[in-house]
Structure 1
Amino acid sequence: MTSRSPRATARPSSEGRAVARTQTLLPGKDGIGTVRRTTLPGGLRIVTETLPSVRSATFGIWAHVGSRDETPALNGATHYLEHLLFKGTRKRSALDISAAIDAVGGEMNAFTAKEYTCYYARVLDTDLPLAIDVVCDMLTGSLILDEDVDAERGVILEEIAMTEDDPGDVVHELFAQTMFGDTPLGRPVLGTVDTVEALTRSQIARFYKKHYDPTHLVVAAAGNVDHATVVRQVRRAFEKAGALGHTDAVPVAPRDGRRALRAAGRVELLNRKTEQAHVVLGMPGLARTDERRWALGVLNTALGGGMSSRLFQEVREKRGLAYSVYSYTSGFADCGLFGVYAGCRPGQVHDVLKICRDELAKVASDGLTDEEIRRAVGQLSGSTVLGLEDTGALMNRIGKSELCWGSQMSVDDMLARIAAVTPDEVREVARDVLEQRPSLAVIGPLKDKQADRLRRAVS
C-alpha cells in the first residue's frame, strides 16, 4: 500500500509527559475524510478518519496477533482470549461491559483472523467517550479469571460445534488445511476440540501479556470524531490502567510473514451425509502487498464476483448445476489463496468441477475479453465505494491499513489504481495464478468411486 507524504507535528504535553507525534496521513477535502495518526510514547498508534456529516462513530482496537502466531499446542488461544476480554475487568463485570453499550443503543463485538484481532464498538457520536472507556478498559484491564476460562471453554466448544454443522464454512477450513498443511495458516482460527479443552488459564494469560502491549496495538476511530479529543481520551484510559509501556518503545512493523508451506495437487475429502456437496478448487494466490493484487481483484471479479461473471453464467445460469458459485482471494503477509467455491447435488460434483477447471484453463490461456475486464473494473470500483458507506467499514479500513501496511490509501487513490489495471496485466496475473496445479477440498456424501475420481481430477 502507498500513502501520500504525511505532515508531522510533535506536541509537548503541558503536564510534562513524553511527547506524542501526530501526522496527517490523508488531508481529505475541506476537512472531510481527513485521516490522522498519533503515536504515543510507548508505541501506541491512534488513527482517525473525520466525517462531520454523520451522527455515529465507530471505535476499535486492533491487535497485531492472530491464529498464525500460535504454536500447535496454543491453537485457538487468540480466539479464546478474544472471548475472555469481554468477561470482566477491575472496573467492570461482564454485565457492566455489555450493559454500558446497550444502554446507549450501541453495538459491540470482536473478531479474530489469521493475522490480527479487532475489538470495536459503534455508537452515537455523543457516546464516543463511553465507547473509548469501555473498549480500552477491556483491552488493558482484563482479569482472565479461572472461572471465566472454564465457563467460556464451553461457549467456544459450542461455537466450534456450530461451525462444524455448516459444511459451507468447514469446506473453506478444509481447503486452507489442504493448501498449507499442519502450519499456523492451515489450522482453524477457533482451534479444535482437543486444543481448546487443553488450554489453561496460565497459557492464555501469558499469551495476553506477550501480544497486547501498546507496541502491538492500533486504535482506530471513524465518524464524527475529533482527532485530538480521541487521542486525549485514549491516552487517559491507557495511563489510568498503567498500560502505556516504555516511553522509548516503537510500534511493531507490519508483518512480513514467514513463507508458508504451499502444496499443489493435494486433495482432501470429508465424507458427510449432507444434502449438497461443497467444493473448493484453488491454488496459491498473491500476498496482500503484491502490486499485482489490483489486477487479481479484477480477474476475481470477472471470474466469479457477480451474476455476470464467467462461473456464475456457466455453472448456474446456463446449466442450473448450483445455486451458489463464486471465486475469492485471500491475501496474507507473504502468500495468498485463490479459490472457487460451489455447492451442488452430490451427483453433479464432477460436472461442476470440470466446468470450473475448464473455465480457469480458458482464462489462463486466452485471458478475459476487454468487455469482461471493463465490466469487472466498474463492478469492483462500485463495490469498493459502497462497502465504505458506514463508520464501521471506515474504521476497519484505517485500522487494518495501519496494522498491515503501515500507511493509508485514499478511496480516490484506490479507485484510480483499479481503473489503471490493463487487460495485459489481468492476462499476465491469470497466467501466473491459474496455470498453477490446483488443490481440491470437498465435503459431501461421497462414494468410494466418486472419491477416487475426485482425487484423479487434479492429478
Structure 2
Amino acid sequence: MTSRSSKATARTSSEARAVARTQTLLQGTNGIGTVRRTTLPGGLRVVTETLPSVRSATFGIWVQVGSRDETPTLNGATHYLEHLLFKGTRKRSALDISSAIDAVGGEMNAFTAKEYTCYYARVLDTDLPLAIDVVCDMLTGSLILEEDVDAERGVILEEIAMTEDDPGDCVHDLFAHTMLGDTPLGRPVLGTVDTINALTRSQVARFYKKHYDPRHLVVAAAGNVDHATVVRQVRKAFEKAGALTQTDAVPLAPRDGARTLKTAGRVELLNRRTEQAHVVLGMPGLARTDERRWALGVLNTALGGGMSSRLFQEVREKRGLAYSVYSYTSGFADCGLFGVYAGCRPNQVHDVLKICRDELDRVASDGLSDEEIGRAVGQLSGSTVLGLEDTGALMNRIGKSELCWGTQMSVDDMLARIAAVTPDDVREVARDVLGRRPSLSVIGPLKDKQADRLHEAVS
C-alpha cells in the first residue's frame, strides 16, 4: 500500500519534472551536430551538441561567476574555489576524483576567467556517465575543508609566482589594470599574494554557496551524446545532492551593461631584469554583444592575426625587431579591450612602438585595402571552423554561448556573419577603435630616460 506522504512525494516529483522544458536550438546538417537545451527545475540549463560520428564526449559545467564578481578583499576567490572543488566531496576524495577519470584515459581540468568559470572532462563516449557523475559531484558536494584551503594556498601562491616569472603573460594583466584601473575587471584573476594569504575558509565557503546554485550554472555536453540521457543523468546527480529544490527558480540572465571606457594616454611601467621588453599598446575595444564585433574580428586578423598581417610583416619580417608580435581583442559584457603585443630587446622598444603606433594611426585614417580584408575574412572563417574540430571546442562554444548570450549560433551563421563584413564596416570600426588615443603597458629593464620617452609614445 502506498502511504499518503509517498503519494504527495511522487506528485511533487512529477510536478518538478513537468517543469523541465526542452528545445531544439539548431538542427544538425552537413556534419554539424544538433543542439538542444533543457531547462530543469531550479533554473539549471543543460545544452548538448550531438555528433554520432565521433567516439568521444566532453562534459562541462559553466558557472556565471568570475573575478569581476569579487570585492577587493576577495580578489582571487573565484580561482581559489576552482582549485578547492578538486579537493574532495562527501563521496570522493581528491585522489578518487582524479583517479576515476585517469582510469578511463580521460582528461579533466577547469579554468577561471573574469566573467565565468568552467569545469570539464573529456572521455570516451562510453564513459560519459562517469564524467557526468564526477563533475556534478564536484560542483554540488564540495567539502571545502580548512586543511584543504590551507594546503591549496601554497599551490596558488606558486601559480602566481609562475605567472610573474613569465613577463609575456604578466604584461596582459598589467594592461588590464592600465585600462580598467583598480576595478573588478582590472584586477588579476589569480588575485595577489596579499589577498590569497588573507582569504579564509569561511570567505571561500560563503562565495561558493552564493554563486554555485543551479540558476548560475550551464551544463554543456558535446560529442556522441544523447540529449535525453544526459539530462536524466544530470538531473539525477543534482537531485541526489538536493540542489534542485527551488522548482520555481529561473536561470540567471546573461550579464549586460553599457560601461564606456574613457581611458586614454595612460602608461604603466614595471621595471624587471628581463632579457626582453614586453609591450602592450592598446585602447578600448567593443563589448562582446556589440554587433560590430564581426568587423572588429576581421580588422584584428588583418592587422595582427597571422604571418601575413601588417604588424607581423612590418615589425618582424621587414625589420627583424621582434619574434612575437600580434594584436588581440577581449570582449566583456559591457566593454572591451584592443591590444597590440610585442616582445623585443629593450634598446629597440621605442622603434617597435613607433612602428605599431604608426600602423594603428594609418589604418584608423586610411583603412585597410580590399585585398587585406578579403584575406582576413578567409583566414578568420577557416580558423573558426578548424577551431571546432574536437568535442572540447564544441562544448566550449555551446556552453559559453548559453551563458554569455543566452542563444546558440550555428557555424554556418557564424561564417555568414563574417562573410557579410564589408570593407566599409572594417574601416568604420577601425576609425572608431583605433582612432582613440592609446594607453601603454611595459615590463622590462627600463632606464629613466627610456621611461620618459615611453610616456611620449602615447601622447
Same fold, judged at TM 0.5 (above): yes
Between the aligned partners of 1:434 and 1:11, the Cα distance in structure 2 is 61
Between the aligned partners of 1:158 and 1:8, the Cα distance in structure 2 is 53
SS at match of 2:373: helix
What are the equivalent positions in structure 2 for 1:274-423 lying under 5 Å apart? Answer: 274-423=274-423
Aligned residue pairs, count: 459
CA gap of 1:219–1:6, structure 2 versus 1, over 3 A, is farther
CA gap of 1:65–1:232, structure 2 versus 1, over 3 A, is same
Tell me how far 1:11 sits from its aligned partner. 15
8 Å Cα contact 2:377-2:419 kept in structure 1:
yes
Tell me how far 1:417 sits from its aligned partner. 0.5
Q: Deviations over 1:345-393 (max 9, x none)?
A: 0000000000000000010000000000000000000000000000000
Between the aligned partners of 1:238 and 1:445, the Cα distance in structure 2 is 53
Between the aligned partners of 2:34 and 2:239, the Cα distance in structure 1 is 27
CA gap of 1:260–1:78, structure 2 versus 1, over 3 A, is farther
Between the aligned partners of 1:41 and 1:69, the Cα distance in structure 2 is 25
8 Å Cα contact 2:179-2:186 kept in structure 1:
yes
Report the counterpart of residue 189 of structure 1 in structure 2: 189
SS at match of 1:247: coil
SS at match of 2:189: coil
Tell me how far 1:414 sits from its aligned partner. 0.2
Tell me how far 1:231 sits from its aligned partner. 0.1
Tell me how far 1:9 sits from its aligned partner. 24
Q: Deviations over 1:231-256 (max 9, x none)?
A: 00000000000011300000000001
Tell me how far 1:28 sits from its aligned partner. 1.3
Q: Where do 5+ consecutive residues of structure 2 fail to align?
A: none
CA RMSD of aligned residues (A): 5.9
8 Å Cα contact 1:4-1:25 kept in structure 2:
no
Tell me how far 1:263 sits from its aligned partner. 1.6
Report the counterpart of residue 102 of structure 2 in structure 1: 102
SS at match of 1:182: coil
CA gap of 1:154–1:258, structure 2 versus 1, over 3 A, is farther
Tell me how far 1:30 sits from its aligned partner. 7.6
8 Å Cα contact 2:17-2:40 kept in structure 1:
no
SS at match of 1:5: helix
- Higher mean C-alpha displacement, 248-257 vs 277-286: 248-257
SS at match of 1:6: helix
8 Å Cα contact 1:3-1:409 kept in structure 2:
no
8 Å Cα contact 1:181-1:261 kept in structure 2:
no
8 Å Cα contact 2:261-2:335 kept in structure 1:
no
TM-score, normalized by length of structure 2?
0.96
8 Å Cα contact 1:6-1:24 kept in structure 2:
no
CA gap of 1:247–1:370, structure 2 versus 1, over 3 A, is same
8 Å Cα contact 2:16-2:41 kept in structure 1:
no
What are the equivalent positions in structure 2 for 1:79-228 lying under 5 Å apart? Answer: 79-228=79-228
CA gap of 1:398–1:455, structure 2 versus 1, over 3 A, is same
- Higher mean C-alpha displacement, 27-36 vs 352-361: 27-36
Q: Deviations over 1:76-113 (max 9, x none)?
A: 00000000000000000000000000000000000000
Q: Deviations over 1:393-422 (max 9, x none)?
A: 000000000000000000000000000000
Q: Where do 5+ consecutive residues of structure 1 fail to align?
A: none
Q: Deviations over 1:117-143 (max 9, x none)?
A: 000000000000000000000000000
8 Å Cα contact 1:4-1:26 kept in structure 2:
no
Between the aligned partners of 2:77 and 2:98, the Cα distance in structure 1 is 23
CA gap of 1:185–1:405, structure 2 versus 1, over 3 A, is same
Between the aligned partners of 1:347 and 1:424, the Cα distance in structure 2 is 38
Between the aligned partners of 2:378 and 2:295, the Cα distance in structure 1 is 13
8 Å Cα contact 1:59-1:222 kept in structure 2:
yes
8 Å Cα contact 1:9-1:22 kept in structure 2:
no
Tell me how far 1:7 sits from its aligned partner. 33
Tell me how far 1:31 sits from its aligned partner. 8.5
TM-score, normalized by length of structure 1?
0.96
Q: Deviations over 1:197-240 (max 9, x none)?
A: 00000000000000000000000000000000000000000000
Between the aligned partners of 1:284 and 1:218, the Cα distance in structure 2 is 29
8 Å Cα contact 2:261-2:284 kept in structure 1:
no
**Identity percentage over the alignment?**
91
